[in-house]
Amino acid sequence: MDNASISDSDFARFQQMIFNIAGISMTSAKKALVAGRLARRLKHHGLDCYGEYFKLLSRQQDEMQMAVDLLTTNETYFFREPKHFDFLRDTILPKHPPGRPFRVWSAASSSGEEAYTIAMVLADNLGTTPWEILGSDLSTRVLEKALAGLYPMERLRGIPQASLRAHCLKGVGSQTGSFLIDPVLRRRVRFEQINLNEPLPNVGEFDVIFLRNVMIYFQTETKRQVVARLLTKLRPGGYFIVGHSESLNGLAEGLETIAPSIYRKP
Ligand SMILES: C[S@@+](CC[C@H](N)C(=O)[O-])C[C@H]1O[C@@H](n2cnc3c(N)ncnc32)[C@H](O)[C@@H]1O
């Protein structure tokens, strides 16, 4: 079937749906993208119209999750925007009182690269101080990948040699061509499905929250609500880190700006 055959009114239904669920705003420039991403689900169900697929979603919760998974953009990589990890290592960690557990949340962690990058930095720099990381995302498809901790070899790019040697295992047998995050590190990282567009579950308080490269999909009001929710989970003195192309300008009064894209709760 031709991807372009999604009608304006059917596109508007999906647009509204993903906004209501995830807070993601899609302009009509995303019409072809939506049609393309959902086309194989229509094929799978033998449907020839996006409107029928939309009706099916209201009856099938699993299919709804699949559609949400397909409509989210999950691009990520290890040590993305590396200055944030330098800041974590050089400025945040040395100030942390030894012995008190250090907790980090990678909110919108996608397939886990961000959470495991943080884990490598903590493992290499926190000594005997206990630490833990929560990775969360709305998409269950990416959370499954994150849990497995198995990545194609080409995704190694960006991981410093020393971290590679210390925390990554080369796949053998059926895993040839992939690498695995060492189970010792994997055990310290927990993944959970959390929708940032809804009231948050009880996850405790964190020393650092990473909210990177997800606000670009939100309108100002959604951003404001998401940031307000997350700030309730940041301990006083804790750091809030957003993507380099994002900013909390006017969104989080009371936060100190430490550097572009790095904020601190007084
Ligand atoms: C582009 S990835 C960013 C991954 C990582 N933080 C990084 O910077 O590399 C954006 C992620 O946000 C997730 N996402 C979108 N809306 C969300 C929501 N309402 N709640 C939780 N996660 C959401 C998507 O599923 C996707 O995996």
The pLDDT tens digits for 161-182 are: 999 999 999 999 999 999 999 9
CA of 195 to the centre of ligand 1 (A): 10
Predicted confidence (pLDDT) at residue 92 exceeds the cutoff of 50: yes
CA of 97 to the centre of ligand 1 (A): 31
Pocket of ligand 1 contains residue 68 by CB under 6 Å? no
Please tell me the pTM assigned to this model. Answer: 0.97
Predicted confidence (pLDDT) at residue 29 exceeds the cutoff of 90: yes
- Given this model, what pLDDT does residue 54 score? 97
41-50 LR contacts (CB < 8 Å, sep 24+) = 41/66, 41/67, 41/70, 42/1, 43/1, 48/1, 49/5, 49/10, 50/5, 50/6, 50/7, 50/10, 50/11, 50/14
Residues annotated as part of the active site: 37, 137
Q: 55-84 pLDDT, tens per residue? A: 999 999 999 999 999 999 999 999 999 999
Q: 237-255 pLDDT, tens per residue? A: 999 999 999 989 889 888 9
Q: Kindly report the average pLDDT of the chain as a whole number.
A: 95
- Cβ atoms of residues 112 and 149 within 8 Å: yes
Average pLDDT (32-49) is: 95
Helix locations, 46-174, DSSP H:
50-59, 61-71, 83-87, 93-95, 113-125, 140-148, 161-167
Residue type, 101: P
| Residues whose CB falls within 8 Å of the CB of residue 177, separated by 6 or more in sequence, listed in order | 152, 153, 171
- Given this model, what pLDDT does residue 4 score? 47
Pocket of ligand 1 contains residue 23 by CB under 6 Å? yes
Pocket of ligand 1 contains residue 195 by CB under 6 Å? yes
Predicted confidence (pLDDT) at residue 128 exceeds the cutoff of 70: yes
- Given this model, what pLDDT does residue 2 score? 46
Pocket of ligand 1 contains residue 108 by CB under 6 Å? yes
CA of 173 to the centre of ligand 1 (A): 32
How many angstroms separate the CA atoms of 105 and 266, rounded? 18
Q: What percent of the chain has pLDDT over 70?
A: 98
Q: 223-242 pLDDT, tens per residue? A: 999 999 999 999 999 999 99
